[in-house]
Amino acid sequence: MSFRIQKPQPLLGLLFLLLNWNAFALESRPDTIESLAKSEQWLFLMHYQPSTWGGYKGLATSPKFYAHPEGRTHPKKELQALVQLFNEAHQNSYKVDQHPRCRFPFRFKWLKRNLKGFAPTESPANCELYDLYIDKHNAKSIGISFSSYNVNSPSSAFGHTLIKVSSNKNLNDHSKKTELLDRGINYASNIPDGVNPIWYAVGGLAGFFPGTFSSVPYYFKVREYNDYEARDIWTYHLDLNQTEVDDLMDQLWELGNSPYDYYFLTENCAYYVLRGLQAAVPRIQVMDKVPFWMIPGDTVRALAKVPGLVKAVDYRPSIRTQVFARLDKLNPDQAEWVKDLASNKVNTSALSTFSESQQRDMLDAGLDFIELINPDDYYEKESPSLKAKFKLLQLRARNPLETLSLQIPLPEQAQPDRGHESARWGLVGRTDTLGHFGLGFDMRFALHDVLDGEVGYMRNAGVGFFHIEGTYWEEQNEFILDSFAALEVIALPAYSYYQPNKSWKMIFGHERRIDENCLSACDLFGIELASGRTYALTSQEDLLIYGLITTELKWSRHLPGSDFLAGVGPDVGLLYHWSLNTKSILQYKHYFYLGDQREVYRSGLAELRSTITTNWSLGVSFQNNEGHKSVNLKLFNYF
């Protein structure tokens, strides 16, 4: 995996400024081909990046994106060729959509604004597709939509962002057009059908799947995220003037005409959304507000950091949120009736014992409930739940009462820009029963675990990417790598009638272990998988108990006998939410290995963590791994 620097180095920029001070002093802005070719804006709008071997390389992989055959690696040649292309356009005849003004409308505008003496002879351009694109979007306002984290899907564990284009100038002016008829411009990787999740993760990291832009009706995204995947959607409305909106649309048009290498962690949807925005609207300096790895949550935090940019935040509750809002209005008897719908039982005679308005509320809740638990009915043609739902629909159509409109207030604690930053480092003070003292470090590139502050994130779930833990033991003067998890996922949603959720865990990576079989410690590599259930013990769901069956399959050179280790056993625990910011966990894992000389491996953990400010948290834990006990004091910073 390669991490690259995505933004021009500030120091280099300063150096450049100093070296070119005279040029700047004479002209208030760069306006010759020479100076423009070096300008940050040109590098940005062409999506050049400093390349590993010096010089630049464009992110767009298609030669059609460039005017010069070597344009991808030569910003200056590219600019010269582009200017020439525009200047000579009137001498050539182009097929429909091939005129340079159709292909590069934003570059054309930009040159007119910035290059002194740029005034190509007018020539007619027949831009059918471009005109259609502009006409259909009729862009008047722009929002960035973020669909919340969903750990159950590998492609959306980190959330997703897309650009929402509306033809309504004002946010809530839906008199002419409802929000559903807006459009979503989406950047995503093209994954061939049937790719398995592991290959998806690996290939996505390595950039094997090219990414492209597409524009879809916003209703498609609403149905997909809100209903089918039951994820809340947050939209950040941007305060842009009409010129900026037009520029962004033109910039996206140019971006949209080439595929790109898609990297999960760096060059993903979040990255291109922000890049396109800054390329089109240079006053929005967002790229310096994000880390060089980037996930969708970083997008909204970066936008929120630009003063005055976000004029409003909109919340669109998922079908799950709607169901619970409707269920809240029911009395226990009514709720009981709705529960039965889980088994596709529509008890008409029981329904008739309720008053007409009660029936309405039950049917309204039931319709959404049956949709929530049977998402596959979106494409299924025949199923018991479709039949049950159809019965509900008929009953509802016969009930004359109007639906009570759902007022779901925006849940501020879940607003994604208010959460902690996505990466985390920490210092750990460690002491074991022998009185040794160790200084530990903890680094995680993304994103969240169940004990981190919940604001802006999910509850009872976590997903971690590249989590490294190590300790320096003072006495032995030795540095030890304790663990490295390439990927760790934990999902402990409470199981209920309404939501028969499965709980699961996965850890893929390295772990150092000391037990009977590894007296001098073993470095184990492999995977741990667990599956089971979580139950809420209180109605507030702040105390949860979980029980999973966990398995592990690991490899190590240090094991006596075989190099492989396979174990199975229980993983049980208690999770308590003291508040949004303070959480604790009690956990016990017990592995049986019935092979070779190995017997069991037991590990217990008690941990309390409290978020002090958004990006700082403190924790204390007690760990007992096969009798090797330690007390740890942790300080974390999110960045």
Partner 1 sequence: MKMNLVKVLSIVVTALLAVSLSANAKGKKGHKGHKGHKGHKHKKEMMMDKEATFERKYGLAGCGLGSIVMGKDGNQVFAATTNNIYGIESTIVGITFGTSNCTDPGHKEWAWNVDQFVKTNKVTLASDMARGSGESVATLSQLLGCQNSEHFGRTMKANFSTIFPNERVQPMQITDSVVNVLLRDKELSQSCTNVDLG
Is 190 a binding residue for partner 1 by CB under 8 A? The answer is yes
For residue 475, the minimal CB distance to partner 1 (Å) is 37
The CA–CA distances, whole Å, from 65 to 52, 103, 591, 592 equal 21, 8, 56, 58
- Edge-to-edge strands, sheet with 310-316: 260-261, 210-217, 183-189, 160-166, 141-147, 233-238, 310-316
For residue 411, the minimal CB distance to partner 1 (Å) is 20
157-186: which residues touch partner 1 (CB under 8 A)?
176-181, 185-186
Start-to-end C-alpha separation, the chain: 21
For residue 227, which amino acid is it? D
Binding-site member from 3, 220, 578, 639 for partner 1 (CB under 8 A): 220
The nearer residue to partner 1, 3 or 220, going by C-beta atoms, is: 220
For residue 581, the minimal CB distance to partner 1 (Å) is 30
Euclidean distance between CA atoms 262 and 307, whole angstroms: 30
Q: What are phi and psi of 549, to 5 degrees?
A: -100, 125
The CA–CA distances, whole Å, from 635 to 425, 429, 525, 610, 620 equal 8, 9, 27, 10, 9
Contacts of 353 (CB under 8 A, 6+ apart): none
Applying CB under 8 A, the span of 87-95, 350-358, 455-463, 550-558 interacting with partner 1 comes to 550-558
Is 348 a binding residue for partner 1 by CB under 8 A? The answer is no
Euclidean distance between CA atoms 207 and 211, whole angstroms: 9
Is 267 a binding residue for partner 1 by CB under 8 A? The answer is no
Place of tokens 């599956």: 531
Is 216 a binding residue for partner 1 by CB under 8 A? The answer is yes
Binding-site member from 192, 307, 308, 435 for partner 1 (CB under 8 A): 192
Is 261 a binding residue for partner 1 by CB under 8 A? The answer is no
Applying CB under 8 A, the span of 76-84, 132-140, 466-474, 514-522 interacting with partner 1 comes to 132-140
Q: Total residues contacting partner 1 (rule CB under 8 A)?
A: 95
Is 457 a binding residue for partner 1 by CB under 8 A? The answer is no
Binding-site member from 67, 233, 252, 362 for partner 1 (CB under 8 A): 252
Structure tokens at 209: 């799947």
The nearer residue to partner 1, 551 or 603, going by C-beta atoms, is: 551
Binding-site member from 87, 155, 413, 431 for partner 1 (CB under 8 A): 155
Is 193 a binding residue for partner 1 by CB under 8 A? The answer is yes
Binding-site member from 335, 350, 393, 600 for partner 1 (CB under 8 A): 393
Is 217 a binding residue for partner 1 by CB under 8 A? The answer is yes
585-624: which residues touch partner 1 (CB under 8 A)?
593-596
Pick left, alpha or beta for residue 329 (phi over 0 → left; psi -120 to 50 → alpha; otherwise beta).
alpha
The nearer residue to partner 1, 190 or 579, going by C-beta atoms, is: 190
Looking at the DSSP bridge assignments, the partners of residue 618 are 610, 635
Is 517 a binding residue for partner 1 by CB under 8 A? The answer is no
Is 502 a binding residue for partner 1 by CB under 8 A? The answer is yes
Give the closest residue to 4 by CA, choosing from 52, 61, 48.
52
Query: What DSSP line would sit under 41-96, residue for residue?
Result: HHHHHTTEEE-TTSSEEESB--GGG-SSTTTTT-HHHHHHHHHHHHHTGGGS---T
Binding-site member from 38, 76, 223, 533 for partner 1 (CB under 8 A): 223
- Cis omega (within 30 of 0) for bond into 447: yes
Q: What are phi and psi of 400, to 5 degrees?
A: -80, -10
Sketch the per residue contact string, 74 through 113, with partner 1: x for CB under 8 A, - otherwise. -----------------------x----------------
Is 511 a binding residue for partner 1 by CB under 8 A? The answer is no
395-414: which residues touch partner 1 (CB under 8 A)?
396-397, 402-403
The nearer residue to partner 1, 174 or 289, going by C-beta atoms, is: 174
For residue 584, the minimal CB distance to partner 1 (Å) is 27
The nearer residue to partner 1, 8 or 375, going by C-beta atoms, is: 375
Structure tokens at 134: 């502009």
